[in-house]
Structure 1
Amino acid sequence: MNPYLVGLFVPLIFSVVLRKQRKEKKRGVPVEVGGEPGYAVRNYRFTSPVETTHEGVSTIPELFEHSCKLYSDHHLFGSRKLIARETEVSPDGRSFEKLHLGSYDWKSYSQAFEAVCSFASGLVNLGHAKGERVAIFSDTRAEWQIALQGCFRRNITVVTIYASLGEEALCHSLNETEVSTVVCGPKELKKLIDISGQLDTVKRVIYMDDEDVSIELSSAKTKTPWTITSFIEVEKLGHENPVEADLPVASDIAVIMYTSGSTGLPKGVMMTHGNVLSTVSAVMTIVPSIGCKDVYLAYLPLAHVLELAAEAVMVAAGCSIGYGSPLTLTDTSNKIKKGTKGDASVLGPTLMTAVPAILDRVRDGVRKNVDAKGGLAKKLFDIGYSRRLSAINGSWFGAWGLEKILWDFVVFRKVRAILGGQIRFMLSGGAPLSGDTQRFINICLGAPIGQGYGLTETCAGGSFSAYDDTSVGRVGAPLPCSFIKLIDWPEGGYLITDSPMPRGEIVIGGPNVTAGYFKNEEKTREVYKVDEKGMRWFYTGDIGRFHSDGCLEIIDRKKDIVKLQHGEYVSLGKVESALIVSPYVDNIMLHADPFHSYCVALVVAAPQAIENWAHSKGITFSDFEELCQKEETVKEVHASLVKAAKQARLEKFEIPARIKLLSQPWTPESGLVTAALKLKREVIRKAYAEDLAKFYA
């Protein structure tokens, strides 16, 4: 036989065999647990929940110190140099700030540990007393982690607050927790000054140094009674006047994490050191390939449990963490000066975390770019994508071996370069990721995307898809720190006796389940339970089903289900996930009224796609807002939604009968979505109450 053919087909045969083995592999197994009856599953490798994987380590500061000693000379925290800020003016007269950023400056693990110890001592020298709390109110950056770990070395509970939080929620978070010290960034300092008269307990503010801080600083010193000190000064003070560590125990509260509040004011979730460590340890047991050669790009909010847990895992594994931001992530990001490089291009990360909304935008951006090129480039992309998809789906006639390498080089190399070209694994969490997006990113990046499922209340721990699991739409088997069970929800028609898979409300138990909500016993008792064996359980409100191999799939959410006038149930989240694939849609919120027989939708329009359509039809318009108000535009977008709905096999009553097309995006700053880009349904409903009322008039 021709040696070339042997070389081509042997890898193919082995790949198909391996795929068959993977499909049959048990990842979770049923188990008997206490508490409310249900269908419970644990990770097949562990009979009891994992709490720590490091001997003698029971808290986060102990884990941090352990890694700093073990990887002392390796890079830990990297930050980009700011070379220049420039202002660009668009043709319509709007101004945009553009940044020229340089290379990464690094702190080694030993240097980072020294900075942490200095900051901890500096806090004491500033007068921060034992028992008082510190709030961190800033975008993600190296100083955020240094402040966090510094507080932990003094057994100080840290209150985490989203940088995008509105004034009311910000005041509520700081006053409820009686914070005495706030660590903030320059733009957050301005927000604090604006509400200084409403803050009851703040005594001192530590600002992270920036050349733009001078104006806010002079204003703060005249308008507030606070002691205001720079981050560098606190470190210097602590370095010159060291104080012994006062380390916590596992049961001490490490973090009070305020959710971004998809409904009403945010709730503070109390996480112990043991909670955080159990999640970190569990992830370490199932992704052992992560190590000190890996580079992680950090850009999601550290005030979100997903990023906090992910960075803790990176530290435990000895990885390097390079900091960026969503606005400087790629070469074409909004704040990157044209002709200069984004964070991913400069850093070349091997690991990243993303929320589904960001991955959806990456997918849409690539597709739009390919469609815009057209011709041979589009044909090559479509053929390459189809060939790789066939291979991943197990076809013998897909692109394997040398053909795979060829398509990777010719077609997908440029796509991978967007994120630095070195990504070997990506984690998606924070919300369900559509199977279409997961497969698209997987093929284009040439790296597996692991879906995780967890909540702030479970310290991000719940389930996690295995590295070798090539399926899509699922969130994996239970993490080794968790038991997951389903309980009946008869009102929604979900039962653990359903065939072919048990279905029901997801309940998570284990050492990662947090202590409850700060100063909110009523809500804590409602969703947290302790069984007769002492295990703590959290009732998520999410609906899931277990596949035969023990992997979980999220299929619904109790709060997102509305019963229409004639008795049909509409799952808002499920329908939105199906409709957002329309190229004309940037974001969408479905609305259903129980007193009517149909649903409607608020649709945030995708500018480029709609403007391209308008130009192709010869439609004239002065601005995008005017275009969105035109009847023919609304009809075109509605038709695309109907098409997407039919492709997803939605029922007729699930397809929005009428839509409102919106020209302005929903951002965390507008208060209409959370920092993880989840819809704030009640806030959006109130903001567009008049438009929604017209739909039913």
Structure 2
Amino acid sequence: MSSTANTTGQKIFAKPSCPEQNGISPYRDVNIEQLQGVPEAGVGTLTKLFQRSVAKYPNNRCLGTRELLREEEEQQSTGKIFKKLILGKYKWLTYREVDTKIQAISRGLTTFGIQPKDKIAICAETRAEWLMSAHAALANSVIVVTVYATLGEDALIHAINETEVSLVIVDENMLQKFTSLSSKMPTLKTLIYFGKSKDTSFLDSARKDIQIKSLQETEEIGLKSEGESIELHNPSAEDISVIMYTSGSTGMPKGVVISHSNLVGATVGMSTRYNFVRPHDSYIGYLPLAHVLELAAENTVLSVGAAIGYSSPNTLSDQSTGIKKGCKGDLSELQPTVMAAVPTIMDRIRKAVYTKVNGGNAFTKALFNFAYNYKMKQLSRGGGTPLLDRLVFSKTRKLLGGKIKVVLSGGAPLSTETQKFMNICLCCPVGQGYGLTETCGAGTMCDVTDLSSGRVGAPLVCNEIKLIDWPEGGYTTHDKPYPRGEICISGHNVTVGYYKNEEKTRESYVEMDGKRWFMTGDIGEWHPDGCLKVIDRRKDLVKLQAGEYVSLGKVEAILKGSNFIDNICVYAESDKDYIIGFVVPTEATLRNAAGSLNIDTKDWEELCKSEKLQQKVIDDLHRVAKIGKLQKFEVPRKIKLCSDLWTPESELVTAALKLRRHSIKQFYINDIKQMYT
């Protein structure tokens, strides 16, 4: 990304469209006057975008999958049996070969009655077959409904029934779940699966009128029909490409309606910001393709003719749980140059490195700490450390394969400590970005030369961003030193709306100044160089580090079912992977529990400090959470038992006894710091 400089010599990455209205006017990439939504004229759909790459790079590596040599069962010290994989080299399909498969699968789908404008669903782990199946549907103007493979049964049934799909594509692991749930999915007529299922006895539980075929059979049917008059209908830019269902942690998942032009716009934004990704590069795909970040990233990679090698969280590294000891993980085998990662994965890498360093001798620790601190100083001055990179950090760099040029970070905020670690120990920049499903995962991305932490970069060329006042929260565009307010995004990547939910669509997508804006609910601030920092959230919805959403109010309502709870406030920070809770206990219940645990003190404050009683309450919260069908990450890992009641006089609750979250946070700020250490 090129940039200009202001009078002080600072790089400028974005600027307001009306400089005299700094902070109020929408910000755009500094290099453009008009938003950009297509790579070239006439390429406005994902189908044409891929066909463009097939024409330009027919013999380039496109999609790769490692060969499974054999599986072994390995007993752990705990007695558990883990399946370990021995994997071979990556086997590659060229762009031309992938296109041939896509066309065949697309024709095969028509033999199951799938016509243009119909909908099919994909519910599977990330693999080459997932992406090829999606493009096969899109090539005939069929809408793809994406559903997380980890969704609960109720959410899964909801997504399938709301969209009324007749055909679902699954992997071998999801096949059993769908056959068992088929009686609750009245519109479902066909299941297509990929992979090999060893045990097929469960197929007897499927509805008798459902036909079950493999993806290979579907492809073969399509190849045989090449001579027949099956005409595929290419989509238009305005056609719906995807209905993407969210993770649903706030209730039933919402379907976000995404057009072809939306996703193409997002790929243009991403590929323009990171224009150093070239046809010879390789990307490792392992995040869920049902997540917009991975779907947009993989299509961006394809748009420049680069290669995608597939992996999974269980086989990613040499130390991954699914890899046989002594065998290479996928990163070591592929040696990718680009990857996307959620903060949790980068945190795990950081902790693993520090654990190994701290387990070494005094000289090793001293050398590492010296090298780390010295390089940090050099990077802050704009310098480098080639000798230290070769002598000290070459081993840590190999954790990601050894050839990584950039790591794309999204899904949740990345901590300052982990970002610095990646820059220093893995010798690669981390491109933090900001986007939502409703903006196709695009919005902002950091320039690779920007090594500052805590920010999410400047607007991409596909969209513009402005802040609007939120007086209730105390944020305005006139704030000093930085303009602050709710982040609103307008542009080619802003999606159509929510499926069958006009009320929510009208609430979140609004017309302002003759343009359509998505109201994110996040609070941001503009920095003088045109980069955005996300500082707060309007709603009580918090995204944890691994990307899970926690609805604080919903969790509190369910946990109040515990007899121990008089009042509770759940708290979460987006750069952490767990939530905490502040509990005002019911005195009688807590004292009874103290008696059963033989705790002899009668002092109320001492009882609230008892670790045994805290654990007793946590155990009961888990019991209530299970009844209320909360996920594990929605249950506080740590709690504080508060000895004082929350009253309007204490200003911790309103007159209507509603929580004052900000006041509670400030009151217990020291406890929060302690529980997150």
Determine if contact 1:165/1:260 at 8 Å carries over to the other structure: yes
**Deviations along 1:16-37, whole A, 9 cap, x unmatched?**
xx9999971111101259xxx9
Matches of 1:349 and 1:635, distance apart in 2: 50
Question: SS of the counterpart of 1:277?
Answer: helix
Answer yes or no: is 1:236 the counterpart of 2:220.
yes
Question: SS of the counterpart of 2:27?
Answer: strand
Which residue of 2 is the match for residue 83 of structure 1? 69
Query: CA RMSD of the aligned region, Å?
Result: 3.3
Question: SS of the counterpart of 1:373?
Answer: coil
Distance 1:486 1:357, change over 3 A: same
**Deviations along 1:380-438, whole A, 9 cap, x unmatched?**
1111111110011117xxxx56xx22211222111111111111111001111112111
Which residue of 1 is the match for residue 183 of structure 2? 197
Which of 270, 273, 279 is the equivalent residue of 1:292? Answer: 279
Answer yes or no: is 1:219 the counterpart of 2:204.
yes
Which of 475, 483, 487 is the equivalent residue of 1:494? Answer: 475
Which residue of 2 is the match for residue 355 of structure 1? 342
Distance 1:295 1:28, change over 3 A: same
Determine if contact 2:582/2:640 at 8 Å carries over to the other structure: no
Question: SS of the counterpart of 1:278?
Answer: helix
Answer yes or no: is 1:61 the counterpart of 2:47.
yes
**Deviations along 1:435-493, whole A, 9 cap, x unmatched?**
21111111111111101100000111111111222212111100111111111112222
Which residue of 1 is the match for residue 531 of structure 2? 551
Task: Quote how far apart the aligned CAs of 1:662 are.
Answer: 8.0
Matches of 2:388 and 2:353, distance apart in 1: 16
**Deviations along 1:228-262, whole A, 9 cap, x unmatched?**
11110111110110332201111111000001123
The TM-score normalised by the length of structure 1 is: 0.78
Which of 560, 566, 591 is the equivalent residue of 2:581? Answer: 591
Which residue of 1 is the match for residue 149 of structure 2? 163
Distance 1:95 1:224, change over 3 A: farther
Give matches, 1:510-529, under 5 Å.
Answer: 510-529=491-510
Which residue of 2 is the match for residue 318 of structure 1? 305
Question: SS of the counterpart of 2:450?
Answer: coil
Determine if contact 1:100/1:337 at 8 Å carries over to the other structure: yes
Task: Quote how far apart the aligned CAs of 1:219 are.
Answer: 3.4
Determine if contact 1:42/1:478 at 8 Å carries over to the other structure: yes
Which residue of 2 is the match for residue 445 of structure 1? 426
Matches of 1:27 and 1:686, distance apart in 2: 38
Distance 1:22 1:188, change over 3 A: farther
Task: Quote how far apart the aligned CAs of 1:92 are.
Answer: 2.5
Question: SS of the counterpart of 2:389?
Answer: helix
Answer yes or no: is 1:186 the counterpart of 2:167.
no
- Size of the aligned set, in residue pairs, is 586
Matches of 2:640 and 2:110, distance apart in 1: 54
Task: Quote how far apart the aligned CAs of 1:687 are.
Answer: 5.2
Matches of 1:661 and 1:441, distance apart in 2: 38
User: What is the identity, as a one-letter code, of the residue corresponding to 1:556?
Assistant: D
User: What is the identity, as a one-letter code, of the residue corresponding to 1:245?
Assistant: L
Question: SS of the counterpart of 1:588?
Answer: coil
Which residue of 1 is the match for residue 387 of structure 2? 406
Matches of 2:276 and 2:201, distance apart in 1: 47
Which of 153, 159, 163 is the equivalent residue of 1:173? Answer: 159
Matches of 2:361 and 2:217, distance apart in 1: 56
Matches of 2:360 and 2:430, distance apart in 1: 27
Matches of 1:24 and 1:552, distance apart in 2: 15
Give matches, 1:645-660, under 5 Å.
Answer: none
Answer yes or no: is 1:328 the counterpart of 2:328.
no
Determine if contact 1:22/1:469 at 8 Å carries over to the other structure: no
- Which 10-residue stretch deviates more, 203-212 or 506-515? 203-212
Which of 259, 264, 269 is the equivalent residue of 2:246? Answer: 259
The TM-score normalised by the length of structure 2 is: 0.81
Structure 1 unmatched ranges of 5 or more: 1-17, 564-569, 581-586, 597-633, 639-656, 673-679
Task: Quote how far apart the aligned CAs of 1:686 are.
Answer: 7.2
Question: SS of the counterpart of 1:179?
Answer: coil
Task: Quote how far apart the aligned CAs of 1:224 are.
Answer: 4.2
**Deviations along 1:45-102, whole A, 9 cap, x unmatched?**
1122111022221111000011011100000000011111111112232111111111
Structure 2 unmatched ranges of 5 or more: 542-551, 554-568, 586-607, 646-677
Which residue of 2 is the match for residue 530 of structure 1? 511
Which residue of 1 is the match for residue 102 of structure 2? 116
Matches of 2:233 and 2:333, distance apart in 1: 39
Which residue of 1 is the match for residue 461 of structure 2? 480
Matches of 2:644 and 2:635, distance apart in 1: 17
Which residue of 2 is the match for residue 15 of structure 1? none
Which residue of 2 is the match for residue 47 of structure 1? 33
Determine if contact 1:306/1:430 at 8 Å carries over to the other structure: yes
Matches of 2:78 and 2:637, distance apart in 1: 31
Answer yes or no: is 1:420 the counterpart of 2:405.
no
Task: Quote how far apart the aligned CAs of 1:520 are.
Answer: 0.6
Which residue of 2 is the match for residue 147 of structure 1? 133
Which residue of 2 is the match for residue 307 of structure 1? 294
